[in-house]
Amino acid sequence: MTSARYFPEAGGTEIHVHEVARRLIRYGADVTVLSTHTPQRLVREGRMWSQPEDSHEVPLVRVRAWPARRDYYFAPGMLPLVRRSRADIVHCQGYHTFVAPIVMLAALSAGIPYIVSLHSGGHSSRLRRALRPVQARLLRPLLRRASKVIASSQFEAELFAERTQLPFGSFAVVPSGVDLPEPEPQDRHAEPRLLLSMGRVESYKGHHRVLDALSELNRKRPGIQLHVVGTGPYEAELWRRAERLGVSHLLKIAAIPVERRDEMARLLARAGCVAMLSDYESQGLAIQEALALGCPLVVTDTTALNDLRGHPNVRALPLNATAAQVAAAIDEMLDAPEVLPPQLTTWDQCARRLLDIYLESLGSRRR
């Protein structure tokens, strides 16, 4: 498996790759993850990596990526490693960096069947958002040669079938698993004044929309606390915005380490309401985890998030909703009655579906 970033770096793709890789190993597959590093990134994460490395049960090799301070992840060192790997199959996790075309070209030139999981996402750069459809079209010749292209939601499959003009049958929908550890009974008491906003701290994730509603919410529910669960480059702007609004004393911005899944489960179990007012989500792993624990949710009625509208205790708002409308929706959900959470895809089901796709691809090649 190849991925531009990998566990214990935080993000939906990183969690996905780690969770399925270690399960595939348990099922008897021989899995190695090939990822990237830059010195600045790993120092920022507080870790330095050697190669090869065993990362929590999964053999891991990292190669150098350039440029050091951008998320393009141009990693030419992947090319010879994939070619010489003698792998039965290569699974490229993520399409939106230079890792994807390098890996697909390497597998193609070595005659190794490859699979691509899209893991599409938004971006804070308007230019990068505008280029995403062009990028998908440019990758069409390589995606067309993939044994299968995997989307994490029906929305993502339909979007990329349209962008790439590939037959819809080329795509498989395999949602990520959402089975967090079960919180202890004493941790399952919701705090009506604890509001969570989930996701990496980027402008497109919409944390500012929740923040803008905080002063109105504080008038209705004095002492309400907003915890933005994540880190990222937009954090300083959020603090400046909170100062202007006079709500900085009600704000906390802190991520939970990606390996501390039990801690994430306890935090979600305590939340009175969980928000994700993002511009774009291909699935929204964090909000799906909140849904699986029965948390009341407020989301934007856009991309894959609008699939949540059919569940009880979910309010979907338009992207242009006012701060007053956001406050009213959150206030309503803070009083929502407890409901039985839905049964969502587990990581075991996700990994077994991937294994089926691998075997189908290899069986087709042998025939």
> Could you tell me if residue 339 is inside a domain?
no
Whether 64 and 32 share a structural domain? yes
Taking the C-alpha atoms of residue 188 and residue 336, their distance in angstroms, rounded to an integer, is 15
> Could you tell me if residue 340 is inside a domain?
no
For residue 45, what pLDDT is reported?
43
> Could you tell me if residue 341 is inside a domain?
no
Whether 140 and 206 share a structural domain? no
At which residue do the structure tokens 């390098």 appear? 102
Whether 254 and 326 share a structural domain? yes
**Which structural domain, as residue segments, surrounds residue 132?**
2-177+346-366
Angle between helices 347-366 and 12-26 (to 10 degrees): 70
Whether 87 and 28 share a structural domain? yes
> Could you tell me if residue 50 is inside a domain?
yes
Residue 171 tokens read as 């795509």
Whether 158 and 24 share a structural domain? yes
Where is 253: in which H helix or E strand?
strand 251-253
**357-366 per-residue burial string, b: 16 or more CB within 10 A, e: under 16:** bbeebeeeee
pTM of the prediction?
Answer: 0.86
Whether 308 and 239 share a structural domain? yes
- Please classify residue 165 by burial: count the beta carbons closer than 10 Å to its beta carbon, then call 0-12 exposed, 13-18 middle and 19+ buried: exposed
For residue 46, what pLDDT is reported?
39
For residue 366, what pLDDT is reported?
54
Taking the C-alpha atoms of residue 96 and residue 79, their distance in angstroms, rounded to an integer, is 17
Listed in sequence order, the residues at least 6 apart from 102 whose beta carbon sits closer than 8 Å to its beta carbon are: 74, 75, 76, 78, 79
Whether 274 and 242 share a structural domain? yes
Contact 278, 122 (CB under 8 A): yes
> Could you tell me if residue 265 is inside a domain?
yes
Whether 13 and 85 share a structural domain? yes
> Could you tell me if residue 227 is inside a domain?
yes
For residue 363, what pLDDT is reported?
86
**CATH code of residue 193:** 3.40.50.2000
Whether 121 and 263 share a structural domain? no
At which residue do the structure tokens 């792998």 appear? 87
Whether 158 and 251 share a structural domain? no
- Please classify residue 64 by burial: count the beta carbons closer than 10 Å to its beta carbon, then call 0-12 exposed, 13-18 middle and 19+ buried: middle
For residue 188, what pLDDT is reported?
67
- Number of separate domains in the chain: 2
Listed in sequence order, the residues at least 6 apart from 16 whose beta carbon sits closer than 8 Å to its beta carbon are: 93, 117, 119, 176, 285, 350
Which contacts of 24-31 are long-range, i.e. CB under 8 A and separated by 24 or more positions? 24/351, 24/354, 24/355, 25/57, 25/58, 27/351, 27/352, 27/355, 29/355, 29/358, 31/1, 31/58, 31/59
Whether 9 and 92 share a structural domain? yes
For residue 52, what pLDDT is reported?
44
- Partner residues linked to 34 by β-bridges: 2, 61
Question: Residues in the chain with pLDDT < 50?
Answer: 42-52, 367
pLDDT digit string, tens, across residues 97-114: 899 999 999 999 999 999
Whether 158 and 197 share a structural domain? no
At which residue do the structure tokens 């004095």 appear? 222
> Could you tell me if residue 46 is inside a domain?
yes
At which residue do the structure tokens 């893991």 appear? 119
> Could you tell me if residue 128 is inside a domain?
yes
